[in-house]
């Protein structure tokens, strides 16, 4: 499969498939395609269906296969930001925020990733569950705003404000850290908790979390203040 990402702040990934190649996407993600792309909806078993539901995706996925020759299919982002192409390998699964998954090659497995520490799930800003991508192939993720990427050395740590974590290697650990000082926590405007990330591994941060954007819009609606 070959692909190209176009569109600036409202991006789209256009995938070019050889005959017989298949891409997988979340329900409703297809934007346009050539007429020889054949769709098949599949769940993959009760466990996988349930896992996708918990991770913020639809219970079923659509499989598109090029029939009789090369095919083309496009998947557009639903929110201003970036589409990030991530190569997933058996020895390098990745963890990403809920609803990040857009599409992938057939060899990529989407499943649920539960935070090991309950406190991290409830207060860390990413929810109790995230998405886990494993297997082998290229995956495309939706990122809110722009991305900033860091590679943490073993034991190296970084504090991230709620909602800014978009993706990380599975080797990175995540836990919450309470903001020090009552005055800082209540008056500092940064919330009560931060997310503490510990390497080794890659960390991808996003500059405009959709939760913060929604809160800003809500604050401007009359009667919501």
Residue 185: predicted pLDDT: 42
Rounded to two decimals, the pTM is 0.81
Q: Which domains are assigned to the chain? A: 2-219 (3.60.160.10)
When pLDDT is averaged across residues 68-88 and rounded to a whole number, the result is: 95
- What value does the mean pLDDT take over residues 195-203? 95
Q: How confident is residue 108, by pLDDT bands cut at 50, 70 and 90?
A: very high
pLDDT in tens, 200-219: 999 999 998 877 766 667 77
Per-residue model confidence as pLDDT tens digits over 113-168: 766 554 544 444 444 578 999 999 999 999 999 999 999 999 999 999 878 999 99
Please report the DSSP string for 147-205 in residue order.
EEEEEEPTT-EEEE-TT-EEEEETTSEEEEEEPSSHHHHHHSSS-SEEEEEESSEEEEE
Tokens 């504090």, located at residue = 159
What is the band of 58 on the pLDDT scale with cuts at 50, 70, 90? low
């Amino acid at each position: 499969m070959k692909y190209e990402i176009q569109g600036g702040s409202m991006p789209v990934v256009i995938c070019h498939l050889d005959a017989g190649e298949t891409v997988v996407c979340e329900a409703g993600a297809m934007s346009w395609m050539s007429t020889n792309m054949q769709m098949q909806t599949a769940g993959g078993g009760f466990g996988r269906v349930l896992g996708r539901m918990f991770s913020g995706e639809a219970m079923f996925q659509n499989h598109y296969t090029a029939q009789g020759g090369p095919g083309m299919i496009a998947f557009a982002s639903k929110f201003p930001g970036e589409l990030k192409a991530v190569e997933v390998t058996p020895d390098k699964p990745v963890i990403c925020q809920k609803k990040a998954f857009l599409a992938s090659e057939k060899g990529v497995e989407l499943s649920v990733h539960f935070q090991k520490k309950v406190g991290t799930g409830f207060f860390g800003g990413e929810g109790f569950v995230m998405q886990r991508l494993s297997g082998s192939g290229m995956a495309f993720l939706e990122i809110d705003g722009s991305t900033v990427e860091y590679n943490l050395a073993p034991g190296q740590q970084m504090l991230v404000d709620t909602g800014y974590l978009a993706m990380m290697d599975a080797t990175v650990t995540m836990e919450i850290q309470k903001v020090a000082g009552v005055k800082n926590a209540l008056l500092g405007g940064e919330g009560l908790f931060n997310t503490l990330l510990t390497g080794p591994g890659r960390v991808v941060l996003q500059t405009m979390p959709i939760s913060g954007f929604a809160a800003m819009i809500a604050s401007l609606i009359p009667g919501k203040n």
